[in-house]
Amino acid sequence: MKYLFIIFFLFCTMTTVGQAVFPAGFKLIKGDNLSGEDDMYTNVKDVFRIHTYWRSYEGDYIWNDEKYRKFMSESVGYPMYRTKDSLLWGTGKLDGFYSYTVVDWSGEIFELYSKENDADFATYSKWLISSIREYRKKGKKFMFARRLHMVS
């Protein structure tokens, strides 16, 4: 029983090791997916969310290579660029919303979007990419909280 408790405890705490801490004022909006995959964080004006474009990628994913960069550009509808440390990022305006997208080293896609391209949008864009880098420096993976539901 003791070992079962330890395993359960580690399982529950494992996902919080790299769980993102959002800027002040952002609240969780739970999506329909029970895992939390479609959850969003918003301060009403700006919204952070993750994407699953990579699921439709038919090539072999190789750490944000040129082929994947082109795929992402086509998927989001605006140019994506590769940083020196191999993150992909891009920004554009789609359907009346400004969007800033970052793809991390494992292919996770994070987006910030807003109706306004103002100082807050610029600040949160910088926060997103710098947070992803900072978590990696600490040996953690930047990620949104995952919800776990026991289905009976």
Asked whether residue 75 carries a pLDDT value surpassing 80, the answer given is yes
Q: Which structure tokens are listed for 47?
A: 């919204």
Average pLDDT, the chain: 83
**Could you tell me how far CA 144 lies from the centroid of its own chain?**
7
Global pTM reads 0.80
pLDDT at site 2: 60
The CA R_g of the chain, rounded to the nearest whole Å, is 17
For range 50-76, the mean pLDDT = 78
Residue 112 buriedness (CB in 10 A; 0-12 / 13-18 / 19+): buried
More confident residue, 61 or 131: 131
pLDDT at site 150: 45
| Closest C-alpha among 52, 42, 18 to residue 144 | 18
For range 24-42, the mean pLDDT = 86
Rounded CA separation 28/107 (Å): 23
In this structure, of 22-26, 59-63, 131-135, the range with the lowest mean pLDDT score is: 59-63
Domain parsing of the chain, residue ranges = 2-137
Asked whether residue 3 carries a pLDDT value surpassing 60, the answer given is no
pLDDT at site 13: 46
Q: Which structure tokens are listed for 42?
A: 């918003």
Could you give the angle at the alpha carbon of 132 between the alpha carbons of 70 and 62, nearest 5°?
35
Rounded CA separation 8/20 (Å): 22
In three-state secondary structure terms, 68 is helix
For range 19-43, the mean pLDDT = 87
144, 41 contact by CB (below 8 A): yes
